[in-house]
């Protein structure tokens, strides 16, 4: 059984910290890379070694393949874990690692390339018998051809970027008169996000659920799924709350979708951890959406209900080891929910909120996990995705899990930047969410005009100011001896017996 001695993490923030944790448990040394903006970032402090890549702009740091490969060679790292985002789904980077003799902890470059081309992926799934949404099999740029295809598919239609996902280049068009402008806008956004303005069309499904299956595949031909995650609570096509199991799936439907996910992975020649995403309509029919060829942001909820460390599995598979799990070994216990905590302003259409974090108090208690990349005193840079942490809770059933998450969110204090914590609490407290009526239009249907309670924000800010002022006025004790100098009684602040 082979294993790496040292791994470089080509990422930042909470996902880099999370990968480092598993490496430490496995006895593997870690190398962090960072930009000048991240010099004091938590992942830099946690790693065994750290290498500065250069300026804060991603193209000069986290997206610079030459610098990352050079850092791996300089530090003697045998493998690179890309996390998610940045270079994680870049086939050129996976190929470059292979050429340079560094193991890429992820799927083969060809699988990333094939599945990253959405229309190619659709054709692959059709050949393997996986159901797909009616739509185009080839990308297109000619607006006249696209308009003709839209008429044949039937409105409403969904315009999608052929070269990427994450909601970029995506537009819903309900009337023919809106189609031309939507195509131009979608192609422009796709070009900006992925360097490729090709788009294609799918039939738009009203009120679907977004259900995905985690898969693991080794290089010895073994492929299994680790059950589903429901990711229907989305804002602007970005997931903000995920849960498992899905409240919509029966054991029969779960088995059917799981087998389709495994078939999809096998058809693509997939190796390592990945996620097969489906849309589930109200009649119980499901359709292939895409494959994310990386570790998902929401992977912790799968870990919580299965007890399986997905990062460890990624590393083991990349080292060439055989998967030691069979499908029969995969059992989900209880319920898990994840809330993404971003630095964003609920008062300004959830725009990013950068700045210094003055104070952080993480929630504690049974069944609570917080994957975080921040600490008190850390400055949130403007250059990167504003995710701060992921709050995950686990309980015996969905109702208890919701209550535990609400309590944990209310106990989570982050001062200095704004966060959507009040928004998340309101979603979880909503009657439709509690009933499990979670569709991809949930935010638009229930929270289109949402505004935070300013009183609550004001009270938290006031409490922080009062505490800061009180601590500044605390008299400094003069130690009478070396023993007193380290007395815990001198660290209690304004304690009164």
**pLDDT tens by residue, 344-361:** 998 888 999 999 999 999
Residue 219 has pLDDT above 90, yes or no: yes
Q: What is the pLDDT of residue 466?
A: 53
Residue 292, token pair as written in the block: 């994310």
Round to whole Å and give the CA distance between 234 and 354. 22
Round to whole Å and give the CA distance between 216 and 314. 8
CATH number of 6-105: 3.40.50.20
Residue 489 has pLDDT above 50, yes or no: no
Tell whether pTM > 0.75. yes
Give residue 478's pLDDT band: very low, low, confident or very high (50, 70, 90): very low
Could you confirm whether 294 is annotated as catalytic? yes
Q: In CATH, which of 3.50.50.60, 2.60.40.10, 3.40.640.10, 3.30.1490.20 is domain 134-203?
A: 3.30.1490.20
Lowest mean pLDDT among 81-95, 162-176, 318-332, 464-478: 464-478
Those residues whose C-beta lies under 8 Å from the C-beta of residue 496, and which sit 6 or more positions away, are none
Round to whole Å and give the CA distance between 125 and 110. 16
Q: What is the pLDDT of residue 452?
A: 82
Residue 328 has pLDDT above 80, yes or no: yes
Residue 301: which of 424, 419, 213 has the closest Cα? 213
Between 133 and 71, the higher pLDDT residue: 71
Q: What is the mean pLDDT of residues 326-343?
A: 98
Round to whole Å and give the CA distance between 190 and 110. 22
Continuous H helices in 42-99 = 42-46, 65-75, 91-99
Q: What is the mean pLDDT of residues 221-229?
A: 98
Residue 108 has pLDDT above 90, yes or no: yes
Contact 104, 80 (CB under 8 A): yes
Domain 209-454 coded CATH 3.20.20.70? no
Between 474 and 246, the higher pLDDT residue: 246
Residue 345, token pair as written in the block: 């302003």
Q: What angle do CA 381, 386, 297 make, to 5 degrees?
A: 135
Round to whole Å and give the CA distance between 463 and 455. 12
Q: What is the pLDDT of residue 455?
A: 59
Residue 439, token pair as written in the block: 């569709």
Contact 381, 339 (CB under 8 A): no
Residue 197, token pair as written in the block: 């303005």
Domain spans, the chain: 6-105, 134-203, 209-454, 455-491
83 burial level (CB within 10 Å; 0-12, 13-18, 19+): buried
Contact 125, 115 (CB under 8 A): no
Cβ density class 262-298: b for 16+ within 10 Å, e for less? bbbbebbebbbbbbbbbbbeeeeebbbbbbbbbbbbb
Neighbours of 252 (CB within 10 A): 9
Residue 131, token pair as written in the block: 């159901």
User: What is 169-188 written as a DSSP string?
Assistant: T-EEE-SGGGHHHHHHHHHH
Q: Angle, nearest 10°, between helix axes 65-75 and 91-99?
A: 40
Residue 10: which of 25, 276, 323, 38 has the closest Cα? 38
Q: What is the pLDDT of residue 491?
A: 44
Q: Which of 171, 209, 294, 369 is catalytic?
A: 294
Give residue 463's pLDDT band: very low, low, confident or very high (50, 70, 90): low
Q: What angle do CA 377, 381, 384 make, to 5 degrees?
A: 135
Residue 80: which of 97, 57, 63, 99 has the closest Cα? 97
Round to whole Å and give the CA distance between 192 and 187. 9
Number of H helices, E strands in the chain: 17, 22
């Amino acid at each position: 059984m082979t294993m790496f001695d040292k791994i470089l993490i080509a990422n930042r923030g909470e996902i880099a910290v999370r990968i480092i944790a598993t490496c430490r448990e496995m006895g593997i040394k870690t190398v962090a890379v960072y930009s000048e903006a991240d010099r004091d970032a938590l992942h830099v402090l946690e790693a065994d070694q750290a290498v500065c890549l250069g300026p804060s702009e991603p193209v000069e740091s986290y997206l610079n393949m030459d610098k990352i490969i050079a850092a791996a060679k300089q530090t003697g790292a045998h493998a690179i874990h890309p996390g998610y985002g940045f270079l994680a789904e870049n086939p050129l980077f996976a190929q470059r690692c292979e050429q340079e003799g560094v193991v890429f902890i992820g799927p083969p470059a060809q699988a990333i390339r094939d599945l990253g081309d959405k229309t190619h992926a659709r054709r692959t799934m059709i050949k393997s018998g996986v159901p797909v949404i009616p739509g185009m099999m080839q990308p297109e740029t000619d607006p006249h051809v696209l308009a003709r295809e839209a008429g044949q598919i039937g409105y409403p239609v969904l315009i999608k970027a052929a070269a990427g996902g994450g909601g970029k280049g995506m537009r819903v068009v309900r009337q023919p008169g809106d189609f031309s402008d939507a195509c131009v806008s979608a192609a422009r956004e796709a070009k900006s996000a992925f360097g490729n303005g090709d788009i294609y069309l799918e039939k738009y499904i009203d009120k679907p659920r977004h259900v995905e299956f985690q898969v693991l595949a080794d290089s010895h031909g073994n492929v299994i799924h680790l059950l589903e995650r429901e990711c229907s609570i989305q804002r602007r096509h970005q997931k903000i709350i995920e849960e498992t199991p899905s409240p919509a799936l029966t054991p029969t439907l779960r088995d059917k979708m799981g087998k389709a996910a495994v078939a999809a992975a096998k058809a693509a020649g997939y190796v390592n951890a990945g996620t097969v995403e489906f849309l589930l309509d109200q009649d119980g029919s499901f359709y292939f959406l895409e494959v994310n060829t990386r570790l998902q942001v929401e992977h912790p909820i799968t870990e919580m209900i299965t007890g399986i460390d997905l990062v460890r599995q990624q590393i083991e598979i990349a080292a060439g080891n055989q998967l030691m799990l069979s499908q029969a070994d995969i059992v989900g216990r209880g319920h898990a929910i994840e809330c993404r905590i971003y630095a964003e302003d609920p008062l300004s259409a959830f725009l990013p909120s950068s700045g210094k974090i003055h104070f952080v108090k993480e929630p504690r208690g049974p069944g609570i996990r917080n994957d975080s990349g921040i600490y008190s005193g850390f400055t949130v840079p403007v250059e990167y995705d504003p995710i701060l942490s992921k709050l995950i809770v686990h309980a015996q059933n969905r109702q208890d899990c919701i209550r535990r998450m609400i309590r944990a969110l209310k106990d989570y204090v982050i001062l200095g930047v704004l966060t959507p914590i009040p928004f998340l609490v309101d979603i979880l407290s909503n009657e439709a969410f509690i009933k499990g009526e979670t569709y991809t239009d949930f935010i638009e249907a229930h929270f289109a005009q949402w505004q935070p309670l300013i009183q609550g924000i004001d009270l938290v800010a006031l409490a922080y100011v009062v505490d800061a002022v009180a601590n500044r006025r605390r008299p400094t004790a003069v130690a009478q001896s070396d023993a007193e100098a380290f007395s815990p009684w001198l660290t209690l602040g304004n304690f009164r017996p």
